[in-house]
Amino acid sequence: MSAEQRTTVQDRRGLRFPFNADCEIQLENPSRRFSARLTELSFRGCFLEMPIELQMKQRLRLKVFHENEFFEALADVLYTRTNGAGVLFVGMEHHYRSILQNWILAELDKQANATQF
């Protein structure tokens, strides 16, 4: 396993949840906007399904919409797949961090309730 692959595996540790949300992506270099679908979410990052291929370590601004709320974050591309990319959040305002935490706590509650039946 290469050093880059080990870094990717280490960066993906932690709780991840299936999630379904619309996103707007703005690339910093080159400047470009497009839509994506967020399909996995964690406190540290997410997986984005998108129609274009991104470069490793590419910086982007992400805006995620879910249940009448949204959050924004700066993120770096950690890994790519044929259908999208995994990104690591590198900058987020406190208000948006609270929204992200609430979404993840709601997913934890859903999982806990599902295992009780």
pLDDT tens, residue order, the chain (117 aa): 444 444 444 445 577 899 999 999 999 777 899 999 999 999 999 999 998 899 999 999 999 999 999 999 999 999 999 999 999 999 999 999 999 999 999 998 888 888 776
Domain boundaries, position 41: 3-115
Q: Can you give the pLDDT at residue 110?
A: 86
CB-based contact 66:103 (threshold 8 Å):
yes
| CA–CA dist 79, 47 (Å, integer) | 9
Q: Can you give the pLDDT at residue 117?
A: 61
pTM of the model: 0.83
Residues 6+ away with beta carbon under 8 Å from 116: none
Q: Can you give the pLDDT at residue 71?
A: 96
3-state secondary structure the chain: CCHHHHHHHHHCCCCCEEEEEEEEEEECCCCEEEEEEEEEECCCEEEEECCCCCCCCCEEEEEEEECCEEEEEEEEEEEEECCEEEEEEEECCHHHHHHHHHHHHHHHHHHHHHHCC
Q: What is the CATH number of the domain that holds 51?
A: 2.40.10.220
Domain total in the chain: 1
